[in-house]
Structure 1
């Protein structure tokens, strides 16, 4: 966010620091939002969400994964971040541990701390493409562990949990009586193979998802939680007190997006895949490659350990050249010497960023002052 604020103060910067899709949302979603506003649909909804949206989400799980998720287990939230906070407050007591992968989404530790919890990490290996390590989770879980938090496709690495790995994680959850919180907000943006939800292997997990990423609806602030039956009422009571409900017109738009023709998403995914491949090739040309290809989401980590200064210094130099990227340290110790580049921006902007960074490195390979 600091990089974004500084980039916004400059003209012509290529924004690769935030995960903001450059695509327009599905037309059906925009039409539904306008119709809701003009029709006066601006009152509170149930804290659980509208019946129509929860029905659409239930149908989505059946059609996409073959999983039966009744609407009664679905809680709509104002963005998936609100869902993550509710999950932490429900599961974590002060002093409890929450196991995260390292690298992790930068905000995860902050949600754990808000519940008074401690962060325990299992480190991922860049040499394996940051593939999630089930043995690492097993080693990290103890009697003090309140939850395991997983993210697939992952921010900031783009790594994807396979169906077998999800099955192993569910088995570990049952064996150790440790709940899983599965952040699946980048589902729909997997480039090789199908998405798999942890709900295919257990109904005891908390799943977080939403319309922000795959439908390019970040500002609509609609997410959802799929909850184990025993947590529906407790978490709904938290939602009633802390977040009230998601905006009614936004829920109408979300329902329309989920029910819309998914050919829209197929085209978007293909364009992201092309951008990914172009950026992976460029990273190799720059000598900043970590020798992996993200399987999903729209992020790539760049290795800047051989450039002068730390990741913040390199981010400043790139910003001066007109390209904004995110310094890696906020994503964990494994990402300390990296920059995260988002390819959610347009193809034209990515090409401009490649031109600028290539010119910068050709002019001064060491980036020395």
Structure 2
């Protein structure tokens, strides 16, 4: 019999759509956050050199010292923050880092506060460790940026963690330093721990990325190599751990993860040595694609009401189209050959939206825009 824990885990709709789309001919993929860039050449070369040097054995569960030092150096150079490398645990992707954070902080019945909309998998991480989800509503009129006062109203004595994401999936919202600082204060007031997913840092267009570590040491920070360096399949991430939790997280990592791949960790060091111009070029390309889609949504007559500031997603309001967002996503896949993700995946407040990813090339986006426009022209609106 399947455990109740497993039964309570909901499907990841973006991956379901991807599976269906892969079984369909001539589909343009706007449903998943899969960068169409290649990793920097030196990253690939380093991985091959490491393999040939025989670096295929286990490493320490917390990761190779050279990689942890390189990650710590990044916090110094980018944010002016001093992070002890001993507080960094390398993980096979950033999602295992979130699992470690939740397993360390949350006992059955404890509450975790997160935004709505939110990344689709967040509630499942909370439920997997027996926690309860409380949500803070976000509004398109605010650019989907949370208000600290809403967090203050949501937290309570049972709150163990406040989970944030900036730049955010699925909205593209970027939190200001003042907002991060204020939410840290809200969490401190109820002895809750901030857990902040910073995986899209470096991919902001109209705002400045701030790490929560600029405002507190008592936060879990999740990050990795997938988005900035197009290393999604390499499965390499990290978690920065508050000083009082380091031993507990390391014990969990030893038992649950063993370690991240040895040679991939060497490639991670090379990635962090990549000149900043590489990411600047990618960021400029994403900005152009974002603007292309933002203009298209307006031309389609759909609601947007904001401009994403980071990541590579936007939420388009389809509430005046027939059916829910799942039905609209099905229509676009079947009739337009364009795969998008229904907003139902991202919380109740995203139920009337579609998430569109602009992580694919501009030519494909332009073709998707034309296809969607032709289909929507045939649809009777409310």
Structure 1 length normalisation: TM-score? 0.98
Q: Deviations over 1:53-107 (max 9, x none)?
A: 1011011000000000111110000100000011001000000000010000000
Runs of 4+ in 1 over 6 A off after TM superposition: none
Q: Equivalent residue for 2:11?
A: none
Match of residue 209, structure 1, among 205, 210, 223: 223
Root-mean-square deviation over aligned CA pairs: 1.1
Q: Equivalent residue for 1:160?
A: 174
> Retained in 1: the 8 A contact 2:174–2:207?
no
**Whole-Å separation in 1 of the counterparts to 2:225 and 2:294:** 27
**Whole-Å separation in 1 of the counterparts to 2:220 and 2:376:** 45
**Whole-Å separation in 2 of the counterparts to 1:183 and 1:74:** 14
Could you say what secondary structure the match of 2:213 adopts? helix
**Whole-Å separation in 2 of the counterparts to 1:281 and 1:120:** 34
Q: Equivalent residue for 2:364?
A: 349
Q: Equivalent residue for 1:27?
A: 41
**Whole-Å separation in 1 of the counterparts to 2:347 and 2:184:** 25
Given the alignment of the two structures, is residue 340 of structure 1 paired with residue 355 of structure 2, yes or no?
yes
Given the alignment of the two structures, is residue 319 of structure 1 paired with residue 338 of structure 2, yes or no?
no
- How far is 1:194 from its partner? 2.1
Could you say what secondary structure the match of 2:37 adopts? coil
> Retained in 1: the 8 A contact 2:159–2:190?
no
Structure 2 length normalisation: TM-score? 0.95
- Residues 50-89 of structure 1: matches in 2 within 5 Å? 50-89=64-103
Q: Deviations over 1:304-328 (max 9, x none)?
A: 1111111111101100111000001
Q: Deviations over 1:254-295 (max 9, x none)?
A: 110011111100000000001001100000010113211001
- Residues 243-262 of structure 1: matches in 2 within 5 Å? 243-262=257-276
Could you say what secondary structure the match of 1:23 adopts? coil
**Whole-Å separation in 1 of the counterparts to 2:265 and 2:342:** 34
**Whole-Å separation in 1 of the counterparts to 2:352 and 2:281:** 34
Q: Deviations over 1:188-223 (max 9, x none)?
A: 101123210000000000000000111110001011
- How far is 1:358 from its partner? 1.2
Residue-pair matches, total:
367
**Whole-Å separation in 2 of the counterparts to 1:122 and 1:196:** 21
Match of residue 233, structure 1, among 244, 247, 264: 247
Q: Deviations over 1:10-39 (max 9, x none)?
A: 122110100000001111111111111111
Given the alignment of the two structures, is residue 107 of structure 1 paired with residue 121 of structure 2, yes or no?
yes
**Whole-Å separation in 2 of the counterparts to 1:189 and 1:90:** 29
Give structure 2 stretches of 5+ with no counterpart. Answer: 1-14
- How far is 1:367 from its partner? 7.8
**Whole-Å separation in 2 of the counterparts to 1:202 and 1:217:** 29
Give structure 1 stretches of 5+ with no counterpart. Answer: none
**Whole-Å separation in 2 of the counterparts to 1:367 and 1:50:** 56
**Whole-Å separation in 2 of the counterparts to 1:187 and 1:213:** 9
Given the alignment of the two structures, is residue 117 of structure 1 paired with residue 131 of structure 2, yes or no?
yes
Q: Equivalent residue for 2:25?
A: 11
> Retained in 2: the 8 A contact 1:132–1:159?
no
- How far is 1:175 from its partner? 2.2
> Retained in 2: the 8 A contact 1:280–1:289?
no
Given the alignment of the two structures, is residue 127 of structure 1 paired with residue 141 of structure 2, yes or no?
yes
Q: Equivalent residue for 2:57?
A: 43
Deviates more, 1:126-135 or 1:323-332: 126-135
